[in-house]
């Protein structure tokens, strides 16, 4: 049994290593065709980021939110679902945090209430898709995509008309100082959000692999038909997965606005939030939808995000090319996990 587990982990590690190599080579080819020096570009992308204190701090700050949104997708996959609603659920979580910018409370209440409301809104947004799936058979991909856009316009409307910053119309009111996560290193963007993310990741692991609820989620993901015959309520398990996913995405939204200086707010077009949910989807696929894999995958993506500025400044690679190269690496990294997911789904449909 132990040998089989070790073999599976070794195979997963080999898949990731090969995918990284292929992605880097394809990215190098694209840069070379564009007239850029791929050696210098990759040096600037990885070396300063991994060898300087500032680079490591930025890596952790970028990794924190996508670690949480990756858990949203991973829990869904473990239940046999494609929950791609982390984006919208995260928007709602962020909204729950900034709403306290217009409320006067004792200072010690801000942070716990921000997390409570932000998490509740994330769960609520996830439950809409969960109920539609469990009791009306609505495909979760369709419903979560629609809910992502609804959440976007709800939050953007709130930003413009309900809670605009009176001094800066490009953002909402800011999270009050008492409601902000403390910075771990002064003068950087690294806050206690990374600690929150790791704690949530650990709790999610324990929930999935050490509880009866987690057992049911994983059983349904492997074979919903056999699980139903075994007495597991598949509809209820679907709701469980959306609740847990909504919680992690909601926490991501709270952490991003309460722990990301300097604005501590939601900006125009949700620009400081947009894409983090879909980044989490890629991270989950890279990490084989497992909390431990997600931890390392989010750190890797954090390195690429932190190093992209160095590529632009010192290797003179334009932003569009940087994003193209990063996208190629992420795509190649995601392919093994995506293929496993498709094969698992195909087996479940037989």
Grouping H, G, I as helix, E, B as strand and the rest as coil, residue 24 is: helix
CA angle (258 as vertex; 156, 56 as ends), nearest 5: 115
Q: CB-based contacts of 251: which residues, under 8 Å, 6+ apart?
A: 68, 93, 115, 118, 119, 122, 196, 200
Residue boundaries of the structural domains of the chain: 63-303
Say what percent of the chain tops pLDDT 70. 95
Cα-only R_g, the chain = 20
Q: How far apart are CA 313 and CA 247, in angstroms?
A: 38
DSSP letters, 210-263, are HSHHHHHHHHHHH-HHHHHHTT--HHHHHHHHHHHHHHHHHHHHHHHHHSSTTT
Residue 1 in this model has a pLDDT that exceeds 60? no
pLDDT tens for 132-160 read 999 999 999 999 999 999 999 999 999 99
Q: What is the mean pLDDT of residues 234-261?
A: 97
Residue 300 in this model has a pLDDT that exceeds 80? yes
pLDDT tens for 169-213 read 899 999 999 999 999 998 889 999 999 999 999 999 999 999 999
Q: How far apart are CA 339 and CA 326, in angstroms?
A: 20
pLDDT band at 350 (very low <50, low <70, confident <90, very high): very low
Residue 282 in this model has a pLDDT that exceeds 70? yes
| Residue 186: predicted pLDDT | 86
pLDDT band at 346 (very low <50, low <70, confident <90, very high): low
Q: Indicate the average pLDDT of the chain.
A: 92
pLDDT tens for 102-130 read 999 999 999 999 999 999 999 999 999 99
| Residue 349: predicted pLDDT | 47
Residue 168 in this model has a pLDDT that exceeds 70? yes
pLDDT band at 348 (very low <50, low <70, confident <90, very high): low
Which of 71-75, 77-81, 284-288 shows the lowest mean pLDDT across its residues?
284-288
pLDDT band at 337 (very low <50, low <70, confident <90, very high): confident
| Residue 216: predicted pLDDT | 97
């Amino acid at each position: 049994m132990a040998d089989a587990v070790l073999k599976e982990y070794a195979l997963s590690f080999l898949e990731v290593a090969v995918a990284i190599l292929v992605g880097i080579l394809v990215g190098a080819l694209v840069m070379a065709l564009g007239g850029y020096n791929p050696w210098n570009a990759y040096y600037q992308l990885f070396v300063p980021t991994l060898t300087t204190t500032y680079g490591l701090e930025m890596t952790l700050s970028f990794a924190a939110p996508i670690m949480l949104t990756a858990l949203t997708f991973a829990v869904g996959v473990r239940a046999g679902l494609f929950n791609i609603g982390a984006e919208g659920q995260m928007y709602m979580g962020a909204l729950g945090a900034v709403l306290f910018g217009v409320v006067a409370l004792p200072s010690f209440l801000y942070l716990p209430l921000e997390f409570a409301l932000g998490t509740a809104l994330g769960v609520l947004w996830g439950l809409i898709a969960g109920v539609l799936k469990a009791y009306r058979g609505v495909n979760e991909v369709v419903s979560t995509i629609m809910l992502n856009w609804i959440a976007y316009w709800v939050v953007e409307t709130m930003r413009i008309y309900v809670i605009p910053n009176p001094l800066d119309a490009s953002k909402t009111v800011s999270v009050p100082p008492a409601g902000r996560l403390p910075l771990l290193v002064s003068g950087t963007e690294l806050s206690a959000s990374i600690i929150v993310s790791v704690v949530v990741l650990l709790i999610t692991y324990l929930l999935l692999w050490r509880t009866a609820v987690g057992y049911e989620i994983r059983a349904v993901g492997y074979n919903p038909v056999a699980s139903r015959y075994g007495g597991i309520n598949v509809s209820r398990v679907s709701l469980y997965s959306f609740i847990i996913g909504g919680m992690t995405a909601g926490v991501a939204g709270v952490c991003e606005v309460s722990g990301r200086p300097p604005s501590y707010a939601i900006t125009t077009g949700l620009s400081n939030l947009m894409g983090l949910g879909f980044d989490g989807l890629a991270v989950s696929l890279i990490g084989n939808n497992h909390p431990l894999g997600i931890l390392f995958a989010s750190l890797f993506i954090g390195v690429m995000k932190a190093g992209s500025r160095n590529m632009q400044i010192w290797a003179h690679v334009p932003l569009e090319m940087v994003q193209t190269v990063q996208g190629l690496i992420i795509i190649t990294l995601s392919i093994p996990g995506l293929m496993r997911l498709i094969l698992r789904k195909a087996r479940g449909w037989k």
